[in-house]
Amino acid sequence: MKQRTPVIIAAVSGVLLLVAFFFQPFTSPYLGLVLNWAIILASVAFLVAIASLVVTHIRFIINGRKGFLFSLVFILAFVLTVVFGLYLGIDDQQYLEAIHTVLVPIQSALMGLIALVLMSAAVKLFRTRGWSILTVSFGGSALVFLFLNLGFLRLDFSEGLNDVIAMVQRLPVIGARGLLIGAGLGALLMALRVLFGQEAHNE
Amino acid sequence: MSDNPDLRICPNCGQENSLYTLRCIRCGEEMEELFQLEGFDPSEQLSNDSPQEDQAPLSEVLASLDDSPLLAEPVENHVDENGGDHAGDDQSSVVEKELPDWLERVRQRAQEEEDASGELSKLGHTSKERRQVDEAFDDILRRIREQNEREKTRKPRTTEQGMVDEKGDPEWLRRIRELHPKNEEDPRETTLKGLPLEDDDAWTKEELQELLRREMGISEHADQAAEDEKFEEIETIDSAEPSIDLPFQENFHNIADDDQDEPQEEEPAEPEEEANAEEPESFPDNDPETENAIDEPEEPDGGLQDQEGAVEQPDEETAEEAESEITPPVDKVLPDLLLLRNQRERAQVLREVIAQEGQRTITLLHEPARQGKIGRFVLALMLILAVLGGILFGGEAGIANQPIPAPALAFEENLRSITSTHPVLLVLDYHAATRGDIEPLVQEILAILDSNRVTTRIVTANPENLWLGETPDEFIPGDMLGYLSAAVSSDPAWGQLPLAQGFSGDAKIYHEVDQAILISDSSEFVRAWLEQVSPWQSGIQTSVVTTSVSEPMLLPYFESGQLRGIIAGASQFRALGTTQQGSINQYAWQAGTLLMMIVLILGMIMKVDEDRQRRTEERSQ
Amino acid sequence: MPPISLTDLIAAAIVGLAIVIMAIVWLSSRKPPVEPYEPIEAYSSIEALMHRSSEEGKALLLSLGEGLSGQQSAMGDSVSLAIEQIVLSRSVSNDQPTQSFSGDGALACISQLVVHGAYQNAMATELFRSDHSLMGGVGAFAWMSVIMPELARSENGGLILAGTMRPEHVLIADLAERLELPIIAATGSLTAQAAFFASGTPVTLGEEYYLPSIGKAGQMTYQRSAKTLNWLRIILALALISAVILKLTGVLP
C-alpha cells in the first residue's frame, strides 16, 4: 500500500488535468491555478537544487576532494554573479556586458569543438559501427544532402531533374514525420503507463 | 506463515522471509517464532506465570505450595526428611472448619500420594541450594533449547538421509552426481572382486552395508532381505553417479530453463568420467577389507562375501535401471531443493555475470586508433585552413548564391505581411553558443518590423537570453509551463493568479497578438510550443527562427500548416531579401561543408581499406 | 475556450485506441511470450556496464538530461528517472556509489528521492549522502560543462546519459571516448540520437527510449509496450495509406 499511494496520486492528478483541459470553460481558472502551483513548486525545487549544489561544492573544498579547484572556481563565479546581480540589478548594462563577455566565448568555443568532434566522428563512423544498412544509409544521405545544400548544383535547364531534386530534398521531411510519429506514440504510451500505474516499478 | 511453505511472514512488517532467517530482511525484527521447542510454548509459559511469580524459581514455587495452608498437613504426618521448613500448622485447625468439600478431597489425595513437589524442591530448601538448583535447571533448559535449535536447522537435511556422508561427501555433491549419471556406452569396468567399478569417492557396498547396519540397528543375518532392498536403492543411486564434477560447471543446477540448452555441453564431461573411472583403484578406502578392518573389526568376513554375492544379482537389475536414468530430467531432482523464481532469476544473472568474465561487453569507443592525436590535429588544421581560405579568398560578396528553401521564403513572405495593427510576440529561447546563427537573423527581422512600424513584445523564459542580443520586455517564470499557464488560464473570480504578480508588465502576454515568432535553437522547444500552447491560442500564427540543425525536425510542422515559415541559420540569410553579408561568411560555410563531405568519404575509404587488409591477413594466416 | 477541432477528436481517438490495444495486449500477455522481443541494445549495454562497474569496483555516472518540469524544452520526460531507479537498485551496494547529475531543478530533487529510496529498499540508508544526486547546471551547456570534468576521475566505471539531450552533448561522448570510458546514451531527442549515432555510442533509436527495460527489470512492461506500439503503428500506417488512397481518388476533400 505504501508504494501504491504515490502511483494513485499521480494517476488521479494526470486524469484530472486531462479532464480539465477538455472542459475548459468551467475549469480554466482552476487549471491556471494548478499550473501556477506547478511552476512555483518547480522554482522552489530549482532553488533547493542550487543550494544543494553550492553546499556540496563547499564540502568538496573543505574535504580537499580531488578536483576541488573546479569547485572553488564554481563557488567564486556563483558568489560574484549573485552579489553583483543583486547589487547592480539584472538591468544594469555593465553587469550584462560582463556576463556576456564570459559566457559567449566559452559557449562559442564549445560549438567550435563540436564541429571538430563531428568531423572526427565522421572519419571513424564506419570503422566503429561497421557496414550495415543503417550506417550506409546514414553516410549516404549525409553526403547527398550536404552536397545539395552547398548550392553548387544548378539544374535550371531541366524541370524534371529539378523535380527529382525537390523530391529528394523532401525525403528528410518524410523521415522526420515517421520519427516524430514513433516518438509521439512512445511518449503517449509512457504517459498512459504512468496514468494507469504500470510504471510503479517493483523488482 | 505465508502460503509458500518455504517462506514465513514477519509479524512486524509482513515481509516474506526465508524459513531460516533470524531477522526480517526488511525491518530487521527478530523472528522470534523461528525457534520453538517441541512441546514448549514460551507464550504459554509467560501467560501462565503471574508477574510476581515470573522471577520466582521453581523450587520456591514448589516450596510455597508446601507452605500453603490449604495443603498443610498435621505435624506428625508431614515430617520432612530434611527437616523442611513447614509453617502454618497452627492455622490448619482454623482453616479446616472453612474448607469446602472439594478441597478436603484434594487434601486427602495429597496425603495419600507422594509429595509431588519433587526432589528438587526438597533438596533446595536453603537459599543457596535453591540457587544451585535453579541454575542447574536453567542450564538444562538452555541446553535443551540449543539442541532443539540445532535440530530444527538440520531438520530438512535429515530428510535427505544426512547432509554429509561418512566419507565427507556433501549432499550437494551427491545430488550433482545423481544429475549426471555415467554414460550408457561406457563399459562398466569391474574390480578384481567382480564389483562394478565406482568412482573413487563413492560408497562401496561393504561400507553401505555397514552404514545401514549401524543406522538401522539390525543384526547381520536378520532382515537381510530388507537390507538388500535398501542396498539396491542405494546402489541404484550410486550407480547413477557421474564422475567427479566440479561444482562450478554450468550444468550443476536444477534450473529448468537452462537445462534445455545444456545437453550438448555434457559431452565434454564424458572423457573426464572415463578418466576418473580409472582412479578409484588407487584409493585405499575402496578396499573393502581395509574398510571393514577399520570400521567393523568384529564382523566376520563370511558375511561380507555373502552379501557381495547377493549384491551382484540385484546389481545387474539396478544397472538397467541406472542406464535408463542416465540423464534424469530436472523434475526428478529431490523436491526439497526448490528454487523460488526470484532466486532462479538471480542465479541466471550470476551465470551471465560469470559468463561475461573477461569479455568486452561494451563497445568501447576507443580503439587503438591509427589516427591518434595527430589525426585530430590534422583535421582541426584542415578545418581552420578551409574556413580561413573561404574568408580570405571569398571575395567581397560574402553571400553565396545558394538556393532558398520554400520554408524560408514563406517566412519572409509572412514577415512582410505583418501590419502595425497588432503586436508581434517574439519568444527568445536560444543559447550563447548558437547566437552566431540566430542573432543576425533576429536583428534583420527586427529591422524589418521596425520599418513597418510593428509593435513587438519580446519575452523569454531562458535566463541566458537576458544578456544575449535583445533585452526582453518580460521574463516568464517556469519556461514552457509559464507559457502554457498564460495561454490556458483566465483570471479567476477571486482575484489574480499567483504568477501574475511576478510580471512587471501585463501578465496577458497573448493579448491582441496574432503573430508569434519563436526564436529558438531547439526543435524540442518549438514542438512543445506547437503542441502545448498553440492549441489554446489558435488565433496566433507561428513562425520560427532556428538553426540549421533543428530545421529538419520542424519541416513536418511547416508542411502541415502549423508553422507559417521557418528560417534556419545564417545560410538562409538571403531569404530576408537583404544584400548584406551578416556576421557569417557564407563562402567559409561552404568550405566547411565541403570539407565535411570529404572527411566522410575518407572515412568510408579507410574502412574499405581496413577490411581489405584484414582479409589479406586472414588469408595469409 | 477554443472549440474542439477535428485534430482534437483524432487525437482523442488515437489515445482511446492506444488504451484499448494496451488492455488487449495486457490481457493476452499473462504468460511470458514464447518468442519475446529482443532486448534493446542500449539497455542491454547499460546492464553490462552495471555488471562491469560492480566487478571493477568503480562508480557509475548517470546524467539525467534536462527535461521534467518544463523548465527546459521538453516536458514530462521521466524515463530517465525510471532508468535511474533500475540502475540504482542494482548498484546500491557497489564499492563506489553511483553519481547522478541533472540539468533541471525539479529533476534533481526527484532524482535525490529516487536515490534515497533505493538505499532505503536496500536497508542501507546510512550509506546515502545528498551529493550522490546533484543538479549539474541550469541549462544544457552548463550541465554539460559539469559532467565533463567528472569524466576524468579515475574511479569512474562508465557514463549513462539518459533523458532529454541536445546534439551538442556529443562532446561528452567524444571526451568519454578519449578517456576510454564506456558511455551509453538513452534519449528521446531525435537530433541528439543522430549526433550520438555518428559518434559510435550505443544509443536508443527512435521510440526505443520509451521502452526502458534493463536486464530482468521491466521486461514484461517492455514486451507489452513493444507489442502495443507495433499494433498502433500498423493501424496508423493502414489509416494513413487509406487516407492517401481516398484523397487520391477524390473521396476525401
Annotated domain spans of chain B: 35-155, 165-354, 399-584
Is A107 in Cβ contact with C141 (below 8 Å)? yes
Residues from chain C contacting residue B365 (CB–CB below 8 Å): 173, 176-177, 182-183, 199-201
Q: Do A149 and B466 touch (CB under 8 A)?
A: no
* SS3 call for B169: coil
Mean pLDDT of C43-62: 89
**Partner-chain contact B379 A123, CB within 8 Å:** yes
Q: Would you state the pLDDT for residue B300?
A: 44
pLDDT value at C164 more than 80:
yes
User: What type of residue sits at position A88?
Assistant: L
Q: Interface of chain B against chain C, CB under 8 Å? A: 25-26, 28, 345, 349, 352-353, 356-357, 361-366, 429, 431-433, 462-464, 478-482, 484, 520, 522-525, 528, 532, 535-536, 538, 549-550, 553
Shortest distance, CA C177 to any CA of chain B (angstroms): 5
Predicted confidence at residue B518, as pLDDT, reads 95
Sheet of strand B566-568: strand arrangement: B474-475, B456-460, B424-429, B515-520, B541-546, B566-568
More confident residue, B466 or A154: B466
Residue A46: closest CA among chain B residues belongs to which residue? B478
List, in sequence order, every beta strand (DSSP E) within C23-117: 59-63, 99-102
pLDDT of residue C1: 52
With beta carbons under 8 A apart, name residues in chain A contacting C221.
193, 198-199
Among B105-109, C4-8, C126-130, C213-217, the range scoring the smallest mean pLDDT is C4-8
Give pLDDT, residue B413: 92
In chain C, the residue whose alpha carbon lies closest to the alpha carbon of B434 is C168
Residues of B in contact with A21 (CB under 8 A): 488
Is residue C27 pLDDT above 80, yes or no?
Answer: yes
* B379:A36 CB<8 A: no
pLDDT at A42 over 70: yes
Cα nearest neighbour of A142 on chain B: B597
CB contact under 8 A, A107 and C221: no
pLDDT of residue C173: 92
Give the pLDDT confidence score for residue A79 in this predicted structure: 94
Residues of chain B in contact with residue A104, where contact means CB-CB under 8 angstroms, are 432, 435, 468
Average of per-residue pLDDT across C7-32: 86
Question: In this predicted structure, what is the pLDDT of residue B290?
Answer: 43
Mutate to test the interface with B, among C75, C91, C123, C184 (most CBs of B within 10 A): C75
Determine the Cα–Cα distance for residues B305 and B301; give it in Å rounded to an integer: 6
Q: What percent of chain B has pLDDT over 90?
A: 10
pLDDT at B491 over 80: no
Cα–Cα distance for residue pair B436/A105, rounded to 1 Å: 11
* List of chains touching B (3+ CB pairs within 8 A): A, C
Question: What value does the mean pLDDT of chain B take?
Answer: 69
Q: How close, in Å, is residue B524 to chain C by CA atoms?
A: 6
Q: Distances in Å between the alpha carbon of B560 and those of A173, B3, B219, B539, C1?
A: 11, 60, 98, 16, 23
Cβ under 8 Å to B: A residues 161-200? 169, 172-173, 176-177, 179-180
Q: How confident is the model at residue B211 (pLDDT cuts 50, 70, 90)?
A: confident
Q: Could you tell me the residue ranges of all domains in chain A?
A: 1-88, 93-127, 131-203
Q: How many residues does chain A have?
A: 203
Of A56, A111, A122, the CB nearest to C198: A122
> Are the beta carbons of B356 and C51 separated by less than 8 Å?
yes
Task: Count Cβ atoms below 10 Å from residue A64 Cβ, excluding itself.
Answer: 7
Q: Is the pLDDT of residue B532 over 70?
A: yes
Contact (CB<8Å) C70/A201: no
Answer yes or no: is pLDDT of B299 > 50.
Answer: no
Hey, what CATH topology would domain B399-584 get?
A: Rossmann fold (3.40.50)
Residue B168 has pLDDT above 90, yes or no: no
pLDDT of residue A87: 92
Q: Where are the beta strands (DSSP E) in B4-142?
A: 7-9, 16-18
Question: According to the model, what pLDDT value does residue B181 have?
Answer: 63
**In chain C, positions 209-228, which contact chain A (CB-CB < 8 Å)?**
209-211, 216-218, 221, 225, 228
Of B532, B536, B549, the CB nearest to C191: B549
Average pLDDT, rounded, for chain C:
86
Q: Any chain A CB within 8 A of the CB of C168?
A: yes
Contact list, B462 vs chain C (CB under 8 Å)? 139
A73-88 mean pLDDT: 92
Nearest to A60 by CA among C114, C140, C99, C115: C99
- Chain-centroid distance, C-alpha C95: 25
For residue B281, pLDDT over 80 is answered with no
Distance separating alpha carbons of residues B222 and B564, to the nearest angstrom = 105
**Inter-chain residue contact C106 with A179, CB threshold 8 Å:** no
The alpha-carbon gap from A84 to the nearest alpha carbon of chain C, in Å, equals 19
Which of B73-82, B420-429, C65-74 is the most confident on average?
Answer: B420-429
In a mutational test of the A interface, the residue from C144, C165, C199, C223 whose CB has the highest number of chain A CBs within 10 Å is C199
| Closest Cβ–Cβ partner in A28, A129, A183 for C200 | A129
Q: Bigger pLDDT: B85 or C97?
A: C97
| CB contact (8 A) between residue C139 and residue B462 | yes
| Phi, then psi, of C187 in degrees rounded to 5 | -145, 150
> Picking from A154-163, B34-43, B240-249, which range would have the lowest pLDDT averaged per residue?
B240-249
Contact status, residue B10 vs residue B21, Cβ threshold 8 Å = no
CB of B353 within 8 Å of a chain A CB? The answer is: no
Contact B380, A116 (CB under 8 A): yes
**How many angstroms separate the CA of residue C37 from the nearest CA in chain B?**
18
**pLDDT(B154) > 80:** no
- The residue among B600, B601, B602, B615 with the most chain A CBs within 10 A of its CB, best to mutate, is B600
Contact between chains at B488 and A35 (C-beta distance less than 8 A): yes
Residue A76 has pLDDT above 90, yes or no: yes
The pLDDT, as a whole number, for residue B41 is 54
Which contacts qualify for B334-339: CB closer than 8 Å, 24 or more apart? B334/B160, B334/B175, B336/B156, B336/B159, B336/B160, B337/B175, B337/B254, B338/B6, B339/B254, B339/B255
Search chain C and give the residue with CA nearest B526: C73
Evaluate whether C169 touches C192 at the Cβ level (below 8 Å): yes
**Is residue B543 scored above 90 in pLDDT?**
yes
What gap in Å lies between CA B73 and CA B69, rounded to an integer? 8
Distance from CA of C164 to the nearest CA of A (A): 12
Are C243 and C236 spatial neighbours (Cβ–Cβ below 8 Å)?
A: no
Q: How large a percentage of chain C has pLDDT more than 90?
A: 33
> Binning pLDDT at 50, 70 and 90, where does residue B427 land?
very high
Quick: pLDDT tens for C168-219: 999 999 999 888 889 999 998 888 999 999 888 899 988 889 888 888 778 8
Query: Do the chains contact at A189 and C228, CB–CB below 8 Å?
Result: yes
- Which B residues, 555 through 594, put their C-beta within 8 Å of a C-beta on chain A? 555-556, 559, 571, 590, 592-594
Q: Average of pLDDT values for A170-199?
A: 85
- Nearest chain A residue (CA) to C71: A42
Per-residue pLDDT at A75 exceeds 90: yes
Chains touching chain C through at least 3 C-beta pairs below 8 angstroms are A, B
- Closest in B431, B555, B599 to A122, CB measured: B599
Percent of chain B beyond pLDDT 70?
Answer: 53
Whether residue B286 has pLDDT greater than 60: no
C244 to chain B nearest CA, in Å?
15
Cα B262-B267-B273 angle, rounded to 5 deg: 120
Selected residue with higher pLDDT from B71 and B190 = B71
Scored b (16 or more CB within 10 A) or e, B233-257 reads ebbbbbbbbbbbbeeebebbbbbee
**Where does the pLDDT of residue B425 fall: very low under 50, low under 70, confident under 90, or very high at 90 and above?**
very high
**Those residues with Cβ within 8 angstroms of residue C87's Cβ, 6 or more apart along the chain or in another chain:** C46, C50, C60, C62, C98, C160, C214
Query: What does the alpha-carbon distance between residue B464 and residue B475 come to, in Å, rounded to a whole number?
Result: 11
- Statement: residue B268 has pLDDT above 70: no
Residues in contact with A33: Cβ distance below 8 Å, sequence separation at least 6, in sequence order: B489, B492, B497, B498
Which pLDDT score, from 0 to 100, does residue B283 have? 40
Of the pLDDT bands very low, low, confident and very high (cuts 50, 70, 90), residue C233 is: very high
Q: If you measure CA to CA, which chain C residue comes closest to B535?
A: C2
Q: Does B597 touch chain A (CB under 8 A)?
A: yes
Per-residue pLDDT at B7: 78
pLDDT band for position B199 (cuts 50, 70, 90): very low
Query: Is there a contact between B489 and A35 if contact means CB atoms under 8 Å apart?
Result: yes
- pLDDT of B201 above 70: no
Least confident span in A92-96, B217-221, B428-432: B217-221
